[in-house]
Structure 1
Amino acid sequence: MDINNAFLRGDLDEEVYMLLPPGFQTAKPNQVCRLTRSLYGLKQASRQWNAKLTTALSSVGFRQSSADPSLFTKGSADRFITLLVYVDDIIVASSNMALIQELKDMLDAKFKIKDLGVLGYFLGIEAKLNDDGLNLCQRKYALDILSDTGFTECKPAPTPMVPGSNLSQDTGKLLEDPSGYRRMVGRLLYLTATRPDIAYAIHHLSQFVSSPTDMHMVATHRVLRYIKGTLGQGLLYPANSTLTLKAFSDSDWASCPETRRSVTGFCVFLGESLVSWRAKKQATVSKSSTEAEYRALASTACELQWIKFLLQDLLVEVTAPAIIFCDNKSAIAISENSVFHERTKHIEIDCHVVRERVVQGLIKLLPVSSLNQIADGMTKPLATQMFATFVSKLGVQNLHSPAYGGVIEDDK
């Protein structure tokens, strides 16, 4: 659903004055008016609207999640309803349609809503629900990017980055107008909401938005060519899946040629569904590959803790420890054994959250071979065959180009 004129409903706590609008005649010249409610364009308009909506939902029994303030929940068992808010756009989910109707009536009485029906399109994300599960993709958004950049008829590329490539700030000639590069990278960043396969490529390209070169632009065009061949690709959340948490954590040691910092990559699965992923450069330089992997494990453990908090708000119990697969045995040993003092005394204390979570039973570390490390594609550009294997393990599906299922023959 959508709230009509949401920002106009926020109450102002401060004294805000504005000039009279053009055409508004008054008896005295140079008069101003004091606002009692917010207007579009005010800096505090979105905050005041959020406070108004939060108050309205709390008054009817909804509880705001501490892990994600945009999530509201109410009830339990078959009378459970959850609500997700993005400014004035709202998604409601419940197995009880009567609860959804009650919420609609309440919000319409207070704010006047626009009921958009069953979830199909939300913030540029297309949602398709069937017996197999829920499919999320951004095909229309990707088509708009290709159309605006003139890549609608381009030749598709098999991977988003050339295998083995490693761009730096000094490669190529500076662009005369960097605004086009910045706009393109910014739009591609939002595309990673349902496209984990391009997460590393966009993470890498976003490091050069301050002073992009022609080589960086060529690499961005390569991403567009890859998107051209995988337009309908998105995430599939199977209807029948176990509620167990598992994660793959990986790091590429000192991969940045300028800062020598490592890249953290992880993928978190709830059953067979990919629910969280990240490709991010680490904050400090690691002295060894073991330290880089240990820092990646710390980021993964914190993400798993946050996801457990969210699941608790959604009344989902995950009693078994979350399993983290790591391909570095030394990092696992440091996490499980506090004797490695000489190797870890220079590492920040916050990284040792991994060891604490292992002792608490929240996570369990298991080794995995580098060939089966799914998070490998979040830390470096892969060759075509390895990249295809990486994508197949992410649980993505091309809704607009389903797999070939054979020919149905007519018995007659």
Structure 2
Amino acid sequence: MVLKAYFNLLSFGYTQSSSDHSLFFKHYNDSITALLVYVNDVILAGNNLQEIDHVKAYLDAAFKIKDLHDLKFFLGLEVACSKHGITLYQCKYALDILSDAGYLACKPTTTPMDSFVKLSNIVGDFLSDPTYYRRLVGRLLYLTSTRLDLSFAVQQLSQFLDKPTSAHLQAANRVLCYVKSCPAYGLFFLASSNLTLKAFSDSDWARCPATRKSITVSESSSEVQYRALASTTCELQWLHYLLQDLHVLHSHPALLFYDNKSAL
């Protein structure tokens, strides 16, 4: 019944996004209303309050809903709005991770990883029970939704989920110490700014000290960089399609930064 009600939005003049099937939107003159669905949770946004009230009344008639009013919390994401813009962060989620790991009182560090440490599967003793490590890395992975400063460290830790060692756990604990130093870091979106899509692409080749293998299967550093560029380009194209659905003008090309001349 819930799914049927959502798809009946099409008869209300809504369009389902081809880029994200959980997103519905409606344009009328200068107004826009967007509805994002995740299982039984819904976010409504737009500049037409009458249309938003109309949709809420329809959904409430189809299946009883609980109106939580202004968005504050959604799937572990915290939202703070002001006249200057919107901030997304995961402070409570980060503190929950620290609490469950027993690291609320740990000494903070200024970086998530030691730049001189290269993780591998030949250093340290294998963990007798890798479940804790896997669960911790999984929770840190979701934290990167708003903490891009953790992305590289968590990506490195994710490569050793099959047979983690004490060295990997030590590196993961360092990430926790870094999170302790800044649990409320997040993303800030200005209310008024010139929209420019930018992306940064990089990859490695044969860096594993044990096997000399790459994360991406390739025969040269140029090829692995080129594949990384292609993957990043697909992400940029998806964002461009999403902006088109929302009628957000982005007339100039997206910028893609990388550091490999041979890939060019």
Query: Which TM-score band (shorter chain)?
Result: over 0.9
In structure 1, C-alpha distance between the alignment counterparts of 2:11 and 2:212, rounded to whole Å: 52
Q: What CA deviation, in whole Å up to 9, does each residue of 1:346-404 have, x standing for no partner?
A: xxxxxxxxxxxxxxxxxxxxxxxxxxxxxxxxxxxxxxxxxxxxxxxxxxxxxxxxxxx
1:297 matched to which residue of 2? 229
In structure 2, C-alpha distance between the alignment counterparts of 1:139 and 1:166, rounded to whole Å: 29
In structure 1, C-alpha distance between the alignment counterparts of 2:219 and 2:66, rounded to whole Å: 52
In structure 2, C-alpha distance between the alignment counterparts of 1:53 and 1:179, rounded to whole Å: 40
Provide the TM-score with structure 1 as the length reference. Answer: 0.61
Residue 64 (structure 1) aligned to one of 11, 16, 28: 16
The count of corresponding residues between Structure 1 and Structure 2 is 264
Q: What CA deviation, in whole Å up to 9, does each residue of 1:180-222 have, x standing for no partner?
A: 1111111111111100111111111112222211111111100
Amino acid at match of 2:138: G
In structure 1, C-alpha distance between the alignment counterparts of 2:6 and 2:249, rounded to whole Å: 26
Paired residue secondary structure (1:114): coil
Alignment of 1:198-237 (within 5 A): 198-237=150-189
Paired residue secondary structure (2:183): coil
Residue 287 (structure 1) aligned to one of 202, 215, 220: 220
1:239 matched to which residue of 2? 191
Q: Is the 8 Å Cα contact of residues 205 and 220 (structure 2) preserved in structure 1?
A: no
Q: What CA deviation, in whole Å up to 9, does each residue of 1:53-89 have, x standing for no partner?
A: 4323223222111111111111244331101111111
Q: What CA deviation, in whole Å up to 9, does each residue of 1:237-257 have, x standing for no partner?
A: 111211222222222333233
Unaligned runs of 5+ in 2: none
Q: Is the 8 Å Cα contact of residues 5 and 59 (structure 2) preserved in structure 1?
A: no
What is the CA-CA distance between 1:261 and the residue it aligns to?
A: 4.4
Percent of residue pairs identical: 53
Paired residue secondary structure (1:134): strand
Unaligned runs of 5+ in 1: 1-8, 10-48, 263-280, 333-412
Amino acid at match of 1:329: K
Paired residue secondary structure (1:75): strand
Alignment of 1:177-216 (within 5 A): 177-216=129-168
Alignment of 1:57-206 (within 5 A): 57-206=9-158
Q: Which runs of 4+ in 1 moved over 6 A?
A: none
Q: Is the 8 Å Cα contact of residues 79 and 99 (structure 1) preserved in structure 2?
A: no
1:311 matched to which residue of 2? 243
Amino acid at match of 1:308: H
In the alignment, does 2:234 pair up with 1:326?
Answer: no
Q: Is the 8 Å Cα contact of residues 261 and 286 (structure 1) preserved in structure 2?
A: no
In structure 1, C-alpha distance between the alignment counterparts of 2:70 and 2:161, rounded to whole Å: 39
- Alignment RMSD, CA only? 1.6
In the alignment, does 2:200 pair up with 1:255?
Answer: no
- Larger strand percent: 1
Amino acid at match of 1:287: S
